[in-house]
Structure 1
Amino acid sequence: MADHSVTIDLNSDLGEGFGRWRLGDDEALLSIVTSANVACGFHAGDPTIMRTVCELAAARGVAIGAQVSYRDLGGFGRRFIDVPPEELSDDIVYQLGSLDAFARLAGTRVRYVKPHGALYNAIVHHEEQAAAVVAAVRAYDRALPVLGLPGSAWLRRAESAGLATVTEGFADRAYTPQGTLVPRGTPGAVLHDPEEVAERCLRMARGEPIEAVDGTPLIVRAESICVHGDSPDAVRMARRVSESLKAGGIELSSFTREAA
C-alpha cells in the first residue's frame, strides 16, 4: 500500500538551448516539475535563456537550481575534463553567480546546486574534483543544498563540509548493480517507455527495489527524481511520471520548499 505521507521532488534539466538553437520544451516541463536545474552557460544556456527560464520558473513557483558543469559547450558538458581543482572551483562560483543574478531579477534566488553530465558522473568517485565543487558552493552560499547520486564522493564530502545533501534518482536512466548510472552510449542506458519509467519512479519513491541493467534488484534512495528535458518524448514522459506518483499517493513538492 502507498504511504500517503511520502513526498518527493521532481526535477528536470532546463534552459539547455544556446542562441538560436533550442532544446526541449521548458515551458511545458515547468508546469510539471517542482525543481528546475537551469544550465548556467558552460554546457548550454545563454543569458537570455537563463533569464527567461528563471522568470517562467518563478511565475510557476518552481525552485531554481544551478546546473553547473565543465566549460564544454561543444560537448554539451558530457566529456570529462581534467580541470585543476582551483580552476574548477572558480568555474562553479562563476556559474552560480550568473544564474543567481537572473533568479533575483525574477524575484527569487538559486535554491540548490546540481552538477551536470560528465562532472556529475566524475565526482561520484573523483575526490579532488568533488572537493573543488564542494569548496565552491561553501564559498558562495553554504546554505545551498546540493543534489547528487547516493553514495557519491560529492555528497559525502558535501555532508562533511556542513552542506545539506539531497539524494537523486533518475527516471529514464539504467543503473549498474553498484547504483551508478550506465554510461550514455551503452545499449539500454536510456529508457524510452513512459509506462516502464513511471512504474520505476513509483517504486523508487516508495523505497522499493528496481531492476539494475543486469536484472538484479537495486534500492535507489531518492529524495528527488530527475526526468530529462532533452529527450524527444520528454514532456509526455514527465507528465506520465507525475501522474503515476500522484496516483500512488506520493505528494510532489520541492525539497527546498521549507526554505522558500
Structure 2
Amino acid sequence: MTSIDLNADLGEGSAHEETVMGVVSSANIACGGHAGDAGTMRDSLRLAARFGVAAGAHPGFPDREGFGRRELHFPPDEVRAFVREQIEALKAVAAREGVPLRHVKPHGMLYNMAVRDAALARAVAQAAADSGIGVYFGLAGSGEMLREARAAGLREIGEGFADRGYAPDGSLWPRGQTGALLPFETAVAQGVRIAREGLTTAVTGEEVAVPARTLCLHGDGAEAAELARTLRAALEAAGLRVTAP
C-alpha cells in the first residue's frame, strides 16, 4: 500500500479545528506571524498530541491584518529573523507541552514567493535549519524552494494541494483569481489524483511528473471538516495509507 501524508494549516482560529485535527496526519500550526498566540499554539499542540498528529511550525509574514496573504518585501536577514522567532515561539510552547515538532511549512504569500525567489527561499530554509527541525514542506516541483531546503541540510517533502488551483507552470493561482479555490468535489478528486499520480508541472522548464509526499487541505474554509473527512476516506478507498512522512 502506498502512503501519503495529509496535512492542514491549523492554529488559525477555525471552528473546525478539532474535527480536522482528528482526520489529518500532520498539522501546520500558526506561530504568531499571520495568526496565533501562545494560547492557540498550546491548544493546537494538545489536540495534535491527543489525535497522534505530527505537529509542525507554520511561520508567515508578520501580517495579521492581511492574514499573511499580501505580497510584502523584507531583506533576507529580516526574513530569517522573523521566521526563526516564530518557530522558536512554537518550540517553547511545544517544550512545555511535551510535544515534539516534526516539520516547518511556510504560510501563504511567504510560501508562494519562496517558490520563485531564491534569496527568500534561502532565508526561510536557513531559519528552519537554525531551529533544529529537520523536515521542510515545500511546493512539489518548485525549483528554488526545495533546492534551498536541501542546501540548508533539511529533508524536503514535496507538497501538493487538494483544494487549490494550479497555474500551468505548477505554481498556485493567487487567491482572488478565478480558479484559485476549488469546489468540494473537484478538491477531493484532485487530492486523490495528486496522491496517486503526482503533479504534471512545467515549473522546472519542461513538463514532468513530480511526486507529492504530502497533501494539503486548508483548515479555515466553511467546508473544512467535511472536506477533511471525505478526502481521507477517498484516499483510503484508493488504496493509500494516510500517515505522517
Pair in the same fold by TM > 0.5: yes
What is the Cα-based RMSD across aligned positions, in Å?
A: 1.8
Provide the TM-score with structure 1 as the length reference.
0.88
Moved over 3 A (4+): 208-212, 217-220
Match of 1:247 in 2: 237
The CA deviation at 1:210 is 7.3
The CA deviation at 1:106 is 2.1
Runs of 5+ unmatched residues, structure 2: none
Contact 1:112–1:146 (8 Å) recurs in 2: yes
Which of residues 101, 104, 110 is equivalent to 2:92?
101
| Structure-2 separation of matches of 1:179 and 1:64 | 27
Superimposed CA distance per residue, residues 60-91 of structure 1 (whole angstroms, 9 cap, x where no aligned partner): 11011100111101000001211111111110
Match of 2:83 in 1: 92
The CA deviation at 1:218 is 7.9
Match of 2:22 in 1: 31
| Structure-1 separation of matches of 2:191 and 2:141 | 19
Superimposed CA distance per residue, residues 14-46 of structure 1 (whole angstroms, 9 cap, x where no aligned partner): 0112xxxxx341111111000000000110111
Match of 1:188, SS state, is coil
Indicate whether 1:71 and 2:62 are aligned: yes
Runs of 5+ unmatched residues, structure 1: 18-22, 256-260
Match of 1:124, SS state, is helix
Match of 2:34 in 1: 43
Superimposed CA distance per residue, residues 119-156 of structure 1 (whole angstroms, 9 cap, x where no aligned partner): 00000011111111111122221x52100112321211
Q: How many residues align?
A: 240
Superimposed CA distance per residue, residues 185-234 of structure 1 (whole angstroms, 9 cap, x where no aligned partner): 011210122x322222111111166799xxxx984521000011111111
Which of residues 102, 109, 114 is equivalent to 1:111?
102
Match of 1:199 in 2: 189
Match of 2:218, SS state, is coil
Indicate whether 1:186 and 2:182 are aligned: no
| Structure-2 separation of matches of 1:36 and 1:26 | 10
Provide the TM-score with structure 2 as the length reference.
0.93
| Structure-1 separation of matches of 2:103 and 2:149 | 13
Cα distance change, pair 202–63 in 1 and its aligned pair in 2 (3 A): same
Contact 2:94–2:100 (8 Å) recurs in 1: yes
Residue 91 of structure 1 aligns to which amino acid in structure 2?
F
Contact 1:145–1:166 (8 Å) recurs in 2: yes
Match of 1:157 in 2: 148
Match of 1:60 in 2: 51
Contact 2:16–2:225 (8 Å) recurs in 1: yes
Indicate whether 1:16 and 2:12 are aligned: yes
Q: Which moved more, 1:32-41 or 1:96-105?
A: 96-105
| Structure-2 separation of matches of 1:41 and 1:162 | 25
Contact 1:68–1:116 (8 Å) recurs in 2: yes
Cα distance change, pair 209–101 in 1 and its aligned pair in 2 (3 A): closer
Q: Which moved more, 1:225-234 or 1:102-111?
A: 102-111
Residue 190 of structure 2 aligns to which amino acid in structure 1?
R
The CA deviation at 1:183 is 1.0
| Structure-1 separation of matches of 2:80 and 2:111 | 14
Cα distance change, pair 226–24 in 1 and its aligned pair in 2 (3 A): farther
Contact 1:92–1:133 (8 Å) recurs in 2: yes
